[in-house]
Structure 1
Amino acid sequence: MKISFIATYPPRQCGIGTFTKDLFSSVIGRGGNGTIHQGIVIAVDDNSQRYDYPEEVIMSIRQEEQADYLKAADLINISGVDICILEHEFGIFGGQNGIYILPLLYRLEVPFLVTLHTVLRNPSYNERAVLTEICKLANSIVVMSQTAVEMLTEEYEISAKKIVKIEHGVPDIHFDQLWAKKEFRLSSKKVLLTFGFIGRNKGIETALKALPEVIDKYPELVYIVLGKTHPHVIRHSGEEYRVYLAGQVQKLGIEKHVIFLNEFISQSELFKYLSAADIYITPYTNEAQITSGALSYAIGAGTAVISTPYWHAKELLANDRGRLFPFQDVWALRDILLDLLDNPEEMRVLRSNAFAYGREITWPKIGEKYIQLSAEIVAVQPDVKERKPQVLNPLTLPPFQLDHVLRLTDDTGIIQHAKYGIPNLKEGYCLDDNARALLMVLMAYKRNKHPLALKLSPTYLSYINYMQNEDGAFRNFLSFNRSFLDEVGSEDAFGRAIWSLGYLLGNAPNDAYYQTGREIFFDAVPNFGRLRSVRGIANTIVGVCYYLKSNPADEEMTRVLRDLSDKLITEFDRHQEPDWAWFEPILAYDNGFLPLALLHAAEFIKDEKVARIGLESMDFLADITLQNGYLSIVGNEEWYKQNGDQSVFAQQPLDALAMVLMFHQAFRLTKNQAYVSRLYTCFMWFLGENDLRISLYDFETKGCCDGLESYGVNRNQGAESTLAYLISHLTVLEAFEEVTKM
């Protein structure tokens, strides 16, 4: 069996890296029954740091370079490995909460198991989303404590069948205590030890404060603090914590009894220190540590351990393998230290129990468990994961809910922006969003007579009416105190207003709404011929088509539709080339609306060219954005210039909506059900089928996040993004009903 490991790796000084190296060494080589296991490593660098890796590392990933993760997936897929083992810790992968690892995992064509080194009880939205997606993609999940199993099943709703508990391994190294003390010239000393990366959460000051009274009784005592300051702490705070500890030592007058060794030492040297220690202390400051390699090593070395009751310690020190004291309780620690030092036999029992347990978790034994689990996964997996096409299934969708829309709406209209899920009143209102909101509630009311949709609709319609100028054009922006912020809005905003008004004229819930909408619509008509923006024209075309659905005999409006469509066709003819079937020399924003408009117009204009250009431009856009089997939207950082490169970020929900609507209209026009499958693929962008493999829909607020950025998800949940999701959701339901009726 050939295994690929994805993690940090020595010489990078990192606890996960040490774990991975030990695991690699324990599984690679000759296994049981004469089998030979091979392995490769994909190592993750720390920001700009590069390392001189050993030969098993065939590629390194720059932590914050997302392209490296995709290249790593491609390399693994052609390397001949049977399975991947991912070591997961939030801080070692790039992007927001390590989100960059998700695209890599999604692209893997071999099964993988993940070892979780951290499981949080109260994760942030992004932490939960990232970890849940990793667990969903993984074939098996390894944790190192029963607490982690319970947290994953209860807090994250992960199936217990997928979770395997395999303890943290320890090196099969042991030294005689008397020899080790002599080696360090500590033969006459009572030795206390703490080791690992140093940071505020280690609670070392608690141990220091417990020492004076213990030293009074045992003046030969020495406390060794072994380990470098954590690199992340160095980056943000320098050596502030180490300086603070040195000050505490001086203040307590225990300088002769405390030794700080600012080193990252070899395992062999570390186990000498552990063997020399009489008592090992982990005075961590809070319970939220699901795994501690340092504590496992202390148990493996057969050291008497005193610890605060963080999650891993409570399990590992059960059955008289150590002692626990409350967090930051100096006096409780002092009493336990004195009790053990006063009772050598009790200390010997702890050491004996710890050592016996440590023999069961040595790396050779832990490695064999990983080999067995990997073999079981490989045995039931196909050689290559097949990516099945999306199948339209409304039962898989979240319930359609208007909670966040209601939160954003007041008696003026819908607030355009939000801070996370909270309306940002400072940004006021805009015509674009109120037009979309009117469209969405009309669609919701048409579908199932949604009472809240009917209640909200006059608010959005009255906003559109209020923003219309005497010449029929529209203002766009309104402050929270209802002051106009512009004289004339953009053509895009104008077109979106006509889009929603056209839909209203074909789907008005009562005559009052119809008459109001008709008046606003026809007051705006004189401006149609002045439009120059292709997106303003496209939105207006869609609105005109919705009007014509209920008024097909209006020949004058049909003529207007033809004139508007000709403008789009002229732009297409002007810019198209053999490899560029588009209306502009750039793919920018809201792209799907341009083919969508012609696909709508083709229902009313009996001109083969209109439908042909609509379908041709749709296929061109789809070839670019759906080439990986999911929707990869053109990002608006630099967009996609002809003969240039596609910008990956920032991806906007508005573009996903346009793609959903485009494929829906293509299906209506052609009756080709393949377009419904593509529609659903585009909709699933909202629910995690995207470049970062993360859901933008927030199941707590019922809103939609504002986009995919290079760092992760933009957690703000403004009106545009939420309405884009809800309109897309309603379109999926509508398409499903249409398919079932065929």
Structure 2
Amino acid sequence: MKIAFIGTYPPRECGIGTFTQNLYHSTVGEEALVGGSQGFVIAIDDNGLHYDYPKEVKLTIRQEEQTDYLEAANVINMSGADICILEHEFGIFGGQDGIYILPLLYRLKIPLIVTLHTVLKTPSYNQKAVMTEICKIAQSVVVMSQTAVDMLSDVYGVLTDKIALIAHGVPDIHFGQLMAKKEFKLSSKQVLLTFGFIGRNKGIETVLRALPEVVKKYPQLVYIVLGKTHPNVVRHAGEEYRVFLAGQVKQLGIAKHVVFLNEFISQSELFKYLSASDIYITPYTSEAQITSGTLSYAIGAGNAVISTPYWHAAELLADGRGRLFNFHDSPALTEILLELLDHPDQMRQLRKNAFDYGREITWPKIGEKYLELAESIAKIGLDLESGSPMILDPLALPPFLLDHVRRLTDDTGIIQHAKYGIPNLKEGYCLDDNARALLMVLMTYKRNKHPLALKLSPTYLSYINYMQTQDGMFRNFLSFNRNFLDEVGSEDSFGRTIWSLGYLLGNAPNDAYYQTGREIFFDAVPNFTSLKSIRSIANTIVGICHYLKSSPTDEGMLKILETLTGKLLAEYDINRSSDWQWFESLLAYDNAFLPLALLHAAEFLHDIRVSEVAIESMDFLSGVTLRNGYLSVVGNENWYGRDLEQSMFAQQPLDALAMVLMFHQAFRLTNEQSYIQKLHTCFMWFLGENDLRVSLYDFETKGCCDGLESTGVNRNQGAESTLAYLISHLSVLEAFEEVTQMEAKLV
């Protein structure tokens, strides 16, 4: 049998990685009780970090790179593997609640076993959708406690005959206590131990507050806290919790009795510490922990264990294998510690009970159970007709990269034009491009917390702020030496700025950006209803709708939305005829933004006429631009009128972007998957499915060419074209994720 394993993996410092490594070695490696199996590992990287993996790791998946997951499915399917075993934990896979793992699982052509390291009793809507779908795809779901079995059945509707209960394995490593204490120079000490990643939910302060009364009677007692701060905690809060604990130690006067070891150590070294300890403590702060590898290790090492009654502890410490105390109850912990230290015979009995049970859950034995399960599943095989194919395939797309945007951006803003792939400083900056740039980086940061996107955001936002005039309008053009080149910008640039600011208010990465954007946005609001350009009105409508997603009760803004939408409908009524369902007497530029605005407005106004005009005008535009099976944008040489021939050339990326956004919003509004296919068709205009059959995306510079001309591609790669491509690319990736979520709900 050949097994493909998916999970985090050492040297990445992660408990799931250690589990995956132990499972690998106990099923196909040197620790396996049954020989003859083979296997390989696909490891999940995190946050742009790369590791020197051992030879069994054949492929890595970058956590937030959607296409890596799809490539991994191809590798597994071509590998000759008989079965795949996935280690699942929220937080290690990309996308919202780890949804990026689903496309990989959909594509597997071999049976799947999933080990669930977390089962949430009260999941969010998306967490439940992802977990339910994973369990549907899998042929077997492994959990490590009876509580998890019950929750999978009750909360997620998983059939019990699909669930396998296999305990968390523990390494078969043991050291004598006397020798271990001697090595650590703890021979004269009573030793308490807590280990694992450190974070607020670990409740270590509960132990610290229990110690003063204990050390009065046992002055040789020492409490060792062994483990690094969890990497996710460090990213978001630094070492705040560790500093807090140090302050508690000082305040309680127990500095001589507490040792913090900020290390991630090997299993062998860890078991040496476990062997040296007299009592092991897990003081977690809530019941919602279905599996604890650290607790399993302590039992496997034969420790006397004291714990709060979280789900796994309540089961594992039953039948005299440990003692429980209530959450945050330091006095109760003090009482138990004194009782055990006063009565060594009780402590010895706890240690014996734990050790005897631990012999049954060593990794070789647990690995044998996984192999038995895998063999039984493999015999049944997989129905390859099950499941539904995805409409979109991000593997067909280039990697999403910000290289050219970074090249075009300085400390003022994004440069408007380029000579080929080189910024053209002579042309300076414009408001339109900086607004679009802000939108793009906000979309990027929302998807994958891209650090460069966050770094660039204030540059574009500060440009917008600098260009706003006292009356709330905006200048547009700024020279490279920062001189204003106009007094008032176009209404189009105004509308595009409101679009971007509205998106910011609905998706701000932090409060400082939100407050700045809010001031600029509301300073501009008095100008909304005086707009004349229907494209400016359309862009403003989209910006308002993004704002309303976070502030849906703003009655004043809803009234403005209704007024602006009425203006678009009025223009439509003036120009519409039986053979011309459009807002003007011609199709000019940025055409799809007009129905797009109505598709957004329909979400909030709940007016059937708004929806009808949006769909009718969208269908009319589609009939003109998609009639050949690919997108043929209305060219800007001679715009397309009722009695005029459509101009093929001077096709602009902005028009392709508007088409992509239009079909994306149509899908969101209707759930009609045909719009996703049209979205994909429009995006492929950038990649060569166009009238000239050439790609506008430059795979070398990572920029986008400025348009299709009669002589070929305009090779200049300015901000407008590159941002149009990147925003379109982001929309495709978002649509792919939304289709995945929808299919997860329907299966």
TM range (shorter): 0.5 to 0.7
Q: Aligned partners of 1:96, 1:361: CA distance in 2, in Å?
A: 34
Give the structure 2 partner of residue 224 of structure 1. Answer: 224
Q: Following TM superposition, by how much is the alpha carbon of 1:302 offset from its aligned partner in structure 2, in angstroms? A: 0.5
Give the match's secondary structure for 1:428: helix
Residue 589 of structure 1 contacts residue 636 of structure 1 at CA under 8 Å; is this kept in 2? no
Give the structure 1 partner of residue 394 of structure 2. Answer: none
Please list, as runs of the form range in 1=range in 2, the aligned pairs for 1:24-173 lying within 5 A after superposition. 24-29=24-29, 35-173=35-173
Q: Following TM superposition, by how much is the alpha carbon of 1:337 offset from its aligned partner in structure 2, in angstroms? A: 0.4
> Which one-letter code corresponds to 1:253 in the other structure?
G
Residue 77 of structure 1 contacts residue 110 of structure 1 at CA under 8 Å; is this kept in 2? yes
Judging changes above 3 Å, is the alpha-carbon distance between structure 1 residues 263 and 329 closer, same or farther for their aligned structure 2 residues?
same
* RMSD of aligned residue pairs (Cα, Å): 4.6
- Between the two proteins, the alignment pairs up a number of residues equal to 517
Q: Aligned partners of 2:201, 2:58: CA distance in 1, in Å?
A: 35
Q: Following TM superposition, by how much is the alpha carbon of 1:22 offset from its aligned partner in structure 2, in angstroms? A: 0.6
Give the match's secondary structure for 1:91: coil
Give the structure 2 partner of residue 649 of structure 1. Answer: 730
Judging changes above 3 Å, is the alpha-carbon distance between structure 1 residues 284 and 636 closer, same or farther for their aligned structure 2 residues?
farther
> Which one-letter code corresponds to 1:694 in the other structure?
Q
Q: Which structure 2 residue ranges, 5 or more long, are not aligned?
A: 390-543, 577-588, 600-606, 626-638, 667-672, 698-724
Cα deviations by residue, 1:326-365 (Å, 9 ceiling, x for unpaired): 1111100000100111111111111111111111110011
Residue 27 of structure 2 contacts residue 370 of structure 2 at CA under 8 Å; is this kept in 1? yes
Judging changes above 3 Å, is the alpha-carbon distance between structure 1 residues 576 and 106 closer, same or farther for their aligned structure 2 residues?
farther
Give the structure 2 partner of residue 694 of structure 1. Answer: 741
Q: Aligned partners of 1:568, 1:379: CA distance in 2, in Å?
A: 68
Residue 593 of structure 2 contacts residue 662 of structure 2 at CA under 8 Å; is this kept in 1? no
> Which one-letter code corresponds to 1:588 in the other structure?
V
Q: Highest Rg: 1 or 2?
A: 1
Judging changes above 3 Å, is the alpha-carbon distance between structure 1 residues 312 and 494 closer, same or farther for their aligned structure 2 residues?
closer
Residue 196 of structure 1 contacts residue 226 of structure 1 at CA under 8 Å; is this kept in 2? yes
> Which one-letter code corresponds to 1:472 in the other structure?
I
Give the structure 2 partner of residue 611 of structure 1. Answer: none
Give the structure 2 partner of residue 428 of structure 1. Answer: 558
Instruction: Select which of 466, 469, 472 maps to 2:574.
Output: 472
Q: Aligned partners of 2:26, 2:356: CA distance in 1, in Å?
A: 20
Residue 109 of structure 1 contacts residue 385 of structure 1 at CA under 8 Å; is this kept in 2? yes
Please list, as runs of the form range in 1=range in 2, the aligned pairs for 1:411-450 lying within 5 A after superposition. 419=549, 425=555, 427-428=557-558
Give the structure 2 partner of residue 483 of structure 1. Answer: none
Q: Following TM superposition, by how much is the alpha carbon of 1:576 offset from its aligned partner in structure 2, in angstroms? A: 14
Q: Following TM superposition, by how much is the alpha carbon of 1:252 offset from its aligned partner in structure 2, in angstroms? A: 1.1
Q: Following TM superposition, by how much is the alpha carbon of 1:79 offset from its aligned partner in structure 2, in angstroms? A: 1.0
Judging changes above 3 Å, is the alpha-carbon distance between structure 1 residues 635 and 253 closer, same or farther for their aligned structure 2 residues?
farther
Judging changes above 3 Å, is the alpha-carbon distance between structure 1 residues 192 and 82 closer, same or farther for their aligned structure 2 residues?
same
Cα deviations by residue, 1:166-207 (Å, 9 ceiling, x for unpaired): 110000111121221122121111110000111111111110
Q: Aligned partners of 1:498, 1:335: CA distance in 2, in Å?
A: 68
Please list, as runs of the form range in 1=range in 2, the aligned pairs for 1:302-321 lying within 5 A after superposition. 302-321=302-321
Q: Aligned partners of 1:428, 1:539: CA distance in 2, in Å?
A: 32
Q: Aligned partners of 1:432, 1:585: CA distance in 2, in Å?
A: 25
Judging changes above 3 Å, is the alpha-carbon distance between structure 1 residues 123 and 633 closer, same or farther for their aligned structure 2 residues?
farther
Judging changes above 3 Å, is the alpha-carbon distance between structure 1 residues 389 and 32 closer, same or farther for their aligned structure 2 residues?
closer
Q: Following TM superposition, by how much is the alpha carbon of 1:20 offset from its aligned partner in structure 2, in angstroms? A: 0.6
Cα deviations by residue, 1:256-307 (Å, 9 ceiling, x for unpaired): 1111111111111111111111100001111111110000000000100000
Give the match's secondary structure for 1:90: coil
Give the structure 1 partner of residue 377 of structure 2. Answer: 377
> Which one-letter code corresponds to 2:6 in the other structure?
I
Residue 663 of structure 2 contacts residue 679 of structure 2 at CA under 8 Å; is this kept in 1? no
With 85-94 and 296-305 compared, the bigger mean Cα shift is at: 85-94
Give the match's secondary structure for 2:130: helix
Give the match's secondary structure for 1:419: helix
Give the structure 1 partner of residue 660 of structure 2. Answer: 588
Give the match's secondary structure for 1:36: coil
Residue 595 of structure 2 contacts residue 618 of structure 2 at CA under 8 Å; is this kept in 1? no
Give the structure 2 partner of residue 724 of structure 1. Answer: none
Give the structure 2 partner of residue 333 of structure 1. Answer: 333
Q: Following TM superposition, by how much is the alpha carbon of 1:468 offset from its aligned partner in structure 2, in angstroms? A: 3.2
Residue 27 of structure 1 contacts residue 370 of structure 1 at CA under 8 Å; is this kept in 2? yes
Give the match's secondary structure for 1:12: coil
Give the match's secondary structure for 1:228: coil
Q: Which structure 1 residue ranges, 5 or more long, are not aligned?
A: 391-414, 435-462, 475-488, 500-512, 525-530, 542-563, 578-582, 595-620, 657-684, 700-742
Residue 26 of structure 2 contacts residue 32 of structure 2 at CA under 8 Å; is this kept in 1? no
> Which one-letter code corresponds to 1:96 in the other structure?
Q
TM-score by length of 1: 0.61
Judging changes above 3 Å, is the alpha-carbon distance between structure 1 residues 424 and 253 closer, same or farther for their aligned structure 2 residues?
same
Residue 30 of structure 1 contacts residue 36 of structure 1 at CA under 8 Å; is this kept in 2? no
Give the structure 2 partner of residue 7 of structure 1. Answer: 7
Q: Aligned partners of 2:327, 2:665: CA distance in 1, in Å?
A: 59
Judging changes above 3 Å, is the alpha-carbon distance between structure 1 residues 162 and 362 closer, same or farther for their aligned structure 2 residues?
same
Give the match's secondary structure for 2:372: helix
Residue 534 of structure 1 contacts residue 568 of structure 1 at CA under 8 Å; is this kept in 2? no
Give the structure 2 partner of residue 707 of structure 1. Answer: none
Give the structure 1 partner of residue 194 of structure 2. Answer: 194
Please list, as runs of the form range in 1=range in 2, the aligned pairs for 1:454-465 lying within 5 A after superposition. none
> Which one-letter code corresponds to 2:255 in the other structure?
E
Judging changes above 3 Å, is the alpha-carbon distance between structure 1 residues 592 and 7 closer, same or farther for their aligned structure 2 residues?
closer
Judging changes above 3 Å, is the alpha-carbon distance between structure 1 residues 190 and 496 closer, same or farther for their aligned structure 2 residues?
closer
Q: Aligned partners of 2:81, 2:644: CA distance in 1, in Å?
A: 51
Give the structure 2 partner of residue 184 of structure 1. Answer: 184
Residue 636 of structure 1 contacts residue 650 of structure 1 at CA under 8 Å; is this kept in 2? no
Residue 8 of structure 2 contacts residue 44 of structure 2 at CA under 8 Å; is this kept in 1? yes
Judging changes above 3 Å, is the alpha-carbon distance between structure 1 residues 469 and 60 closer, same or farther for their aligned structure 2 residues?
closer
Q: Following TM superposition, by how much is the alpha carbon of 1:467 offset from its aligned partner in structure 2, in angstroms? A: 5.1
Q: Following TM superposition, by how much is the alpha carbon of 1:588 offset from its aligned partner in structure 2, in angstroms? A: 3.4
Judging changes above 3 Å, is the alpha-carbon distance between structure 1 residues 495 and 568 closer, same or farther for their aligned structure 2 residues?
farther
Residue 193 of structure 1 contacts residue 224 of structure 1 at CA under 8 Å; is this kept in 2? yes
Give the structure 2 partner of residue 452 of structure 1. Answer: none
Q: Following TM superposition, by how much is the alpha carbon of 1:150 offset from its aligned partner in structure 2, in angstroms? A: 1.1
Q: Aligned partners of 1:574, 1:537: CA distance in 2, in Å?
A: 15
Judging changes above 3 Å, is the alpha-carbon distance between structure 1 residues 567 and 116 closer, same or farther for their aligned structure 2 residues?
farther
Judging changes above 3 Å, is the alpha-carbon distance between structure 1 residues 112 and 537 closer, same or farther for their aligned structure 2 residues?
closer
Q: Following TM superposition, by how much is the alpha carbon of 1:649 offset from its aligned partner in structure 2, in angstroms? A: 3.4
Q: Following TM superposition, by how much is the alpha carbon of 1:428 offset from its aligned partner in structure 2, in angstroms? A: 2.3
Give the structure 1 partner of residue 580 of structure 2. Answer: none
> Which one-letter code corresponds to 2:159 in the other structure?
S
Residue 592 of structure 2 contacts residue 658 of structure 2 at CA under 8 Å; is this kept in 1? no
Cα deviations by residue, 1:472-503 (Å, 9 ceiling, x for unpaired): 359xxxxxxxxxxxxxx99769879999xxxx
TM-score by length of 2: 0.61
Please list, as runs of the form range in 1=range in 2, the aligned pairs for 1:423-572 lying within 5 A after superposition. 425=555, 427-428=557-558, 468=570, 472=574, 536-537=620-621, 571=646
Q: Aligned partners of 2:568, 2:265: CA distance in 1, in Å?
A: 72
% identity of equivalent residues: 56
Cα deviations by residue, 1:581-619 (Å, 9 ceiling, x for unpaired): xx989963556999xxxxxxxxxxxxxxxxxxxxxxxxx
Q: Following TM superposition, by how much is the alpha carbon of 1:695 offset from its aligned partner in structure 2, in angstroms? A: 2.2
Q: Aligned partners of 1:274, 1:493: CA distance in 2, in Å?
A: 64
Q: Confirm whether residue 241 of structure 1 aligns to residue 248 of structure 2.
A: no
